[in-house]
């Protein structure tokens, strides 16, 4: 019976973890801009989480906990590699589909390029806050830095992004048509 209990628990834990895969992937992709690497990092993160899932007492802390594992996997990966991964430009340009609005696609690509140019710390903060909508406190815990550091990195990251993406600002007419079509 113990075996069944164990299997049952593992299966539950896996199913629970799978729910986070997409969200983790989005962040891992935003950090690496490399689909295969992002997928590997997420798989590694979830596998580690599964191993350690017994340590997790509060299920609500789950998501922040997963991101902190992802941060470690990401760090370990680049420590192992020593060489910075190149941003895979091909992956970025391949995803357009005919029905995709090309100007929207341009915005998407420009933003990803701009994000890729941020420092690692700034990129992590801005993506965790903006894409995942995590609180500053959660991000501080995930990255293991003081909350003031989160705030200043975020501030600088957005400032840089604004500068890099500034020329999208005056094109209101184009933006309006883009936004109408999103519906």
The pair of three-digit structure tokens given for residue 84, joined into one six-digit string? 């910075």
Q: Which of 63, 108, 121, 145 binds another protein (CB under 8 A)?
A: 108
Nearer to another protein, 82 or 133 (CB): 133
Q: Which stretch binds another protein (CB under 8 A): 52-60, 65-73, 75-83, 153-161?
A: 153-161
Q: Which of 140, 156, 158, 159 is nearest to 148 (CA)?
A: 140
d(CA 127, CA 122): 8
151 scored as a contact of another protein (CB under 8 A): yes
Long-range contacts made by residues 70-76, C-beta under 8 angstroms, separation at least 24? 70/24, 70/27, 70/28, 70/41, 70/42, 70/45, 71/124, 71/142, 71/143, 73/41, 73/44, 73/45, 73/48, 74/28, 74/31, 74/32, 74/41
The pair of three-digit structure tokens given for residue 126, joined into one six-digit string? 């801005």
Q: Which of 115, 140, 142, 143 binds another protein (CB under 8 A)?
A: 115
159 scored as a contact of another protein (CB under 8 A): yes
46 scored as a contact of another protein (CB under 8 A): yes
172 scored as a contact of another protein (CB under 8 A): yes
175 scored as a contact of another protein (CB under 8 A): yes
| Other beta carbons within 10 Å of 102 | 9
144 φ, ψ (degrees, to nearest 5): 60, 50
Q: Provide the binding-site residues for another protein, judged by CB under 8 A.
A: 7, 10-11, 14-15, 17-19, 21-22, 25-27, 29-30, 35-36, 38-40, 42-43, 46, 50, 91-92, 94-95, 104, 107-108, 111-112, 115, 126-127, 129-131, 135-136, 151-152, 154-155, 158-159, 161-162, 165, 168-169, 172, 175-176, 179-180, 182-183
């Amino acid at each position: 019976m113990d075996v069944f209990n164990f299997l049952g628990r593992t299966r539950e834990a896996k199913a629970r973890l799978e729910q986070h895969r997409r969200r983790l992937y989005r962040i891992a992709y935003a950090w690496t801009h490399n689909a295969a690497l992002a997928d590997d990092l997420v798989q590694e993160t979830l596998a580690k989480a599964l191993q350690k899932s017994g340590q997790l007492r509060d299920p609500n802390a789950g998501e922040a906990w997963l991101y902190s594992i992802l941060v470690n996997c990401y760090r370990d990966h680049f420590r192992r590699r020593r060489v910075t991964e190149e941003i895979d430009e091909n992956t970025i340009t391949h995803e357009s589909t005919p029905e995709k609005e090309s100007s929207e696609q341009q915005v998407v690509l420009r933003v990803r390029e701009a994000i890729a140019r941020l420092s690692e710390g700034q990129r992590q903060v801005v993506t965790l806050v903006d894409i995942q909508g995590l609180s500053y406190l959660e991000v501080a815990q995930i990255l293991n830095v003081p909350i003031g550091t989160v705030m200043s990195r975020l501030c600088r990251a957005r400032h840089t992004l604004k500068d890099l993406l500034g020329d999208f600002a005056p094109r209101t007419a184009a933006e309006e048509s883009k936004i109408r079509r999103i519906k």
